[in-house]
């Protein structure tokens, strides 16, 4: 037994200086000889082990000492890193702990926890293979096509450059600070969005659950958008695309009368793609044709995420590069089109009076929150897989700059297309009015003075100049039988919903020379943008489930398949005849309320419950560099008040005015505006309460147990200057090991 103990103490003796090694070797030799004479009855193998000890040279001891010191240093660094990453603060119990456990008491607990996790089948937490892949993931998340269209619509309807000025101020005041907050919380906690809010402050433990539910619902109906794109793309290789002309009646050479009363683009969208009903109340079976492409879209997302974050970076390199190349091609092509200058001149219009309009500021603030994707959860989840010393403040500014550049690239492209469409449509309207007026004059319904001019050169300007020069009674008589043709009114028809993309842009592209090529590029642009955002929504949900439930972590691929199939089954609601109306109800009337409430809770959890100064001090220690001193002030006062004002404006909009949607009227074969029924408000209110229920539930739970709202300073991370450096080095080692494994 004594010889065994001597062997166990060898590593500790190996830490002696090289000059002491010979003496230690001689003493060990003497002890081994004496023990050998007393233990002659023991196994010969033990004797051989002792002889081996006797033959060790001093150089061997020195080498063993160096190896042992290296291993001990690595072990201490890994210990410090693991302790720093367990929680942002010690996990609170019914009564808050008065003191923080010292670092010397933690290794045994850490070993027990590690062995327990290993026995339960936990896998080590994956990190992004490189900083570039993480940045690409955030960029892909911000590439939502609905956000780009909503920004252009706000630019046109909310004061042009005045809206952009309000947007920049909102981005600097609440956008970047709150983006930095989500990145910093995820990066520092290194946990799922469900667990990190519990550990940050138990009062806000329900925020993570609400995030997951809102993210899943949003991803479900956004994925339906991809299925519509795939359905259109399945028809682009026809010699004549079906939305360019009305279909023929069965067993007849005549066109479908319902399509002739409308336009071929409207008919294909409502009747062949959506198979839409007249009202939201009229349901039916899901569309099989769109359902196949919804299943295909889910399969594509599942395939892209099959290997988790290991391969998503390479996929995003393609998905992000393609849309920018297409946007540049479209921008070059559309700048030379007739009427493009009319759309581009809106880039230079500044309405000074509208800057003082609160509606513009509210619209710009909500636009910022959705453009950056705050409150949904993917940013927190993606940031939790980067090393904790990453400079997330610089990342937040970089993503804001990326978003502005993207919007400034796409806005001229969209405005020039809108100008071309409005000009072309108005020219067509003037020529149709000319034909109708000539026919009415020939029939004697209108006097000869109503003879229209020749419209072969600049039809819109010639026709409107002639109409304005007529006497008021004659002009009124003409306008009673023909519609007014105005470029401005046509231009202002832009809306921030999917129907605008599938109705207006398909019509515009069909007017371009080589329309087949541009049609392929256009739908490829929409598909890549939609896939980028859907992939990140899906990845945010999958990573959260993996971190929360042990089984999900052990079976990541099975989890991805299951979530994709559940998303497909839930998406069937939106491909039934009234599904487009439910899509509009959720995307335009529902999602803003839960997202803004979640953002407010995030802000309060960090700034007031945990403490903005404490949190920023911890981030300064981890980053090793100072952080903008006004960030805490923005978190504590500016952001909560502004976001609360935005929530109030959304409530006023939902309660004050009627909620409307565009619908298909089969009796007149026209698109009409209908009012959502009263039960639709009850539906969105009930869904909002359902997804936000975990937040008040945790409030009641903590209030019942008497848990203090504000965390005590004793729960601060116990990181000193030396430990911070060890944590950084260990984090770099982990990242290097992950790169080697991948």
* Residue numbering of the annotated binding site for Na(+): 140, 529, 533
Quick one: which of 295, 292, 297, 270 has its CA closest to 577? Answer: 270
Residue 231 in tokens: 């359905």
Please, are residues 132 and 321 in contact by the beta-carbon 8 Å criterion?
no
b/e map of 67-82 (b: 16 or more CB within 10 Å)? Answer: ebeeeeeeeebbbbbb
**How far is residue 107's CA from residue 92's CA, in Å, rounded to a whole number?**
20
Q: What is the DSSP string of 188-225?
A: HH-S-HHHHHHHH-GGGTTHHHHHHHHHHHHHHHHHHH
- Phi/psi for 160 (5° steps) reads 60, -115
- Structure letter (DSSP) for residue 94: S
**How far is residue 710's CA from residue 485's CA, in Å, rounded to a whole number?**
63
Q: What is the DSSP string of 643-689?
A: HHHHHHHHHHHHHHSPPEEEEEETTTTEEEEEEPPHHHHHHHHHHHH
**What residues are designated binding site?**
140, 529, 533
Q: Are strands 670-675 and 660-665 parallel, antiparallel or unpaired?
A: antiparallel
**How far is residue 6's CA from residue 33's CA, in Å, rounded to a whole number?**
13
**How far is residue 193's CA from residue 638's CA, in Å, rounded to a whole number?**
24
**How far is residue 379's CA from residue 180's CA, in Å, rounded to a whole number?**
10
b/e map of 546-560 (b: 16 or more CB within 10 Å)? Answer: bbbeeebbeebeebb
How many helices (H) and strands (E) the chain has is answered by 36, 2
**How far is residue 96's CA from residue 487's CA, in Å, rounded to a whole number?**
67
Quick one: which of 382, 216, 376, 380 has its CA closest to 308? Answer: 382
Residue 424 in tokens: 């072309």
């Amino acid at each position: 037994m004594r010889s065994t103990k001597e062997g166990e103490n060898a590593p500790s003796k190996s830490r002696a200086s090289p000059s002491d090694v010979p003496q230690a070797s001689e003493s060990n030799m003497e002890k081994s000889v004496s023990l050998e004479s007393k233990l002659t009855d023991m196994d010969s193998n033990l004797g051989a082990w002792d002889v081996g000890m006797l033959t060790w040279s001093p150089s061997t001891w020195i080498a063993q000492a160096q190896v042992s010191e290296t291993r001990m240093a690595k072990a201490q660094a890994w210990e410090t890193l693991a302790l720093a990453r367990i929680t942002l603060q010690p996990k609170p119990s019914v009564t808050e702990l008065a003191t923080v456990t010292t670092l010397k008491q933690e290794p045994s607990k850490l070993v027990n926890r590690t062995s327990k996790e290993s026995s339960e089948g936990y896998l080590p937490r994956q990190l992004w293979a490189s900083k570039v892949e993480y940045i690409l993931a955030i960029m892909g998340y911000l590439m939502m096509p609905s956000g780009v269209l909503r920004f252009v619509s706000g630019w046109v309807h909310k004061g042009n450059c005045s809206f952009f000025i309000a947007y920049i101020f909102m981005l600097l005041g609440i956008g970047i600070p709150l983006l930095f907050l989500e990145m910093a919380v995820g990066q520092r906690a290194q946990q799922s969005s469900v667990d990190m809010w519990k550990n940050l402050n138990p009062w806000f433990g329900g925020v993570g659950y609400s995030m997951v539910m809102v993210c899943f619902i949003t991803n479900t109906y956004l994925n339906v958008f991809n299925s519509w794109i795939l359905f259109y793309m399945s028809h682009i290789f026809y010699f004549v695309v079906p939305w360019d002309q009305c279909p023929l009646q069965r067993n007849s050479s005549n066109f479908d009368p319902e399509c002739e009363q409308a336009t071929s683009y409207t008919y294909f969208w409502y009747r062949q793609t959506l198979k839409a009903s007249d009202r939201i109340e009229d349901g039916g079976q899901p569309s099989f044709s769109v359902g196949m492409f919804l299943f295909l879209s889910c399969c594509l997302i599942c395939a892209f995420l099959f290997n988790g974050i290991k391969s998503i970076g390479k996929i995003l390199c393609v998905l992000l590069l393609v849309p920018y190349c297409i946007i540049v091609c479209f921008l070059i092509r559309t700048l030379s089109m007739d009427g493009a200058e009319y759309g581009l001149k809106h880039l230079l219009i500044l309405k000074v009076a509208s800057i003082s309009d609160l509606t513009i500021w509210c619209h710009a603030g909500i636009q910022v929150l959705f453009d950056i994707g705050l409150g949904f959860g993917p940013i927190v989840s993606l940031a939790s897989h980067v090393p904790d010393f990453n400079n997330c403040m610089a990342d937040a500014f970089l993503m804001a700059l990326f978003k502005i550049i993207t919007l400034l690239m796409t806005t001229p492209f969209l405005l020039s297309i809108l100008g071309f469409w409005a000009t072309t449509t108005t020219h067509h309207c003037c020529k149709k009015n000319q034909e109708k007026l000539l026919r009415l004059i020939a029939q004697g319904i209108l006097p000869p003075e109503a003879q229209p001019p020749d419209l072969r050169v600049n039809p819109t300007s010639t026709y409107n100049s002639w109409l304005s020069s007529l006497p008021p009674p004659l002009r009124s008589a003409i306008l009673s039988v023909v519609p007014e043709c105005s470029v401005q009114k046509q231009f202002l028809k832009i809306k921030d919903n999917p129907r605008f993309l599938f109705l207006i842009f398909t019509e515009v592209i069909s007017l371009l020379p080589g329309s087949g090529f541009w049609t392929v590029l256009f739908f490829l642009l929409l598909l890549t943008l939609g896939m980028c955002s859907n992939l990140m929504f899906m990845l945010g949900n999958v990573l959260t489930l993996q971190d929360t439930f042990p089984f999900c972590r052990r079976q990541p691929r099975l989890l991805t398949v299951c979530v994709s199939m559940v998303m497909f089954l839930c998406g069937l609601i939106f491909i039934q005849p009234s599904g487009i109306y439910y899509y509009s109800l959720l995307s335009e009337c529902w999602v803003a309320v839960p997202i803004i409430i979640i953002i407010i809770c995030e802000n309060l959890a960090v700034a007031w419950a945990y403490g903005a100064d404490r949190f920023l001090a911890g981030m300064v220690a981890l980053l090793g560099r100072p952080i903008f001193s006004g960030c805490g002030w923005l978190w504590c006062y500016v952001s909560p008040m502004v976001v609360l004002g935005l929530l109030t404006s959304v409530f006023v909009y939902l309660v004050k005015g009627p909620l409307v949607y565009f619908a298909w009227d089969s009796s007149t074969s026209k698109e009409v505006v209908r009012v959502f029924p009263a039960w639709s408000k009850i539906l969105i209110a009930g869904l909002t309460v359902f997804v936000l229920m975990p937040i008040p539930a945790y409030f009641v739970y903590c209030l019942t147990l008497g848990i203090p709202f504000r965390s005590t300073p004793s729960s601060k991370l116990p990181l000193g200057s030396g430990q911070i450096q060890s944590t950084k080095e260990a984090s770099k080692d982990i990242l290097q090991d992950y790169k080697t494994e991948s």
